Chain A
């Protein structure tokens, strides 16, 4: 009766943990030749082996803690960075998420072979339990890899979104006391907020009397966009600057009228040049040719 008791004492995850620890070197050697590691660590094979060892150690630790199916298990923390880098490298070389997941699944076969060799008879319940535990563990690894890949992507998207917000809304000083914002692309609430903030800041910084909102690059105007425009105009007026909207294309003008949006309180000019001419004229600035005979030559 002592033998089954011993079996029960050493649970399947523990068996897997000690197996991973003992066979670390062999597993790492085999994994280093799989497409996943080989393509990431192209410089040296030793580096790939080291990376594999780190992953095996992490798996062993997770198995020892008994939380085989817990993606948030602390054992994965040390290798998360490395896995993130690996998935990024794979993604950059044009692999889809599911392809990467398949490659991670490909790591199972070599380990399974080694685990089966551990047992003289692979059909005994103990061996089967160990195989099951290892399968679960590798499944979790797969999830962790996917999770890190998704996290990295989400981070990238957030960063790019932020960059887009900043890049897409420059405030240009056209003349002393005249600033302009050439709006390009669709205006949503977040963007119009940024436009408003940067325009108002520029009005203060440049001591501008005139602010031009050029919407030549805005593809469509709906009631929401019109509302954003009117808010920006009103805010600029509260700051003591006059706001001119320029570059309304014929199709957009028709849409605005059909939607019944009243832009009557907003000063409009057909192009940015006209708006600038208006602002200059209001400030008493005249633009003329430097030499009268220039045109004759």
Chain B
């Protein structure tokens, strides 16, 4: 089970770039952190009127079914709040593992890196 962590380290920073939220995941994501992140993102979208969410997972070595579900949930929640979610920077090894596990994340929009993800959001927004 997840170890108890100090409150400040258990939070994933959520940055705002214009009307887009940028979340950069690093290393392992604990169950508690994932729930907190989900709440943070939905809160920020509704209060700050965000139209897009970019989740950068270039620093993640392993995406399991749990994280896959969390990401899909964030995307569908954001969609209900009229914001689009783009998953950016997945590593080849992670993509292969996910596909082998049968987790193809069908509802998620993906991009090569954060740059491309922003481009994609701006393109569709206009």
Contact = CB atoms under 8 A, between A and B. Distances in A.
Contacts, number: 57
B96 A200 contact: yes
A203 interface: yes
Given A200-B92, A204-B112, A238 B100 contact: no
A239 B100 contact: no
Contacts of A235: 92, 95-96, 98-99
Contacts of B105: 238
Interface residues of B, number: 19
Contacts of B112: 203-204, 207-209, 239-241
Given A231-B99, A231-B100, A237 B92 contact: no
Contacts of A200: 92, 95-96
A237 B110 contact: yes
Nearest to B89: A240
A203 B105 CA distance: 19
A228 to B, nearest CB: 10
Contacts of B96: 193, 196-197, 200, 235
A234 interface: yes
B116 interface: yes
Interface string B62-91: 000000000000000000000000011010
B96 to A, nearest CB: 6
B85 to A, nearest CB: 13
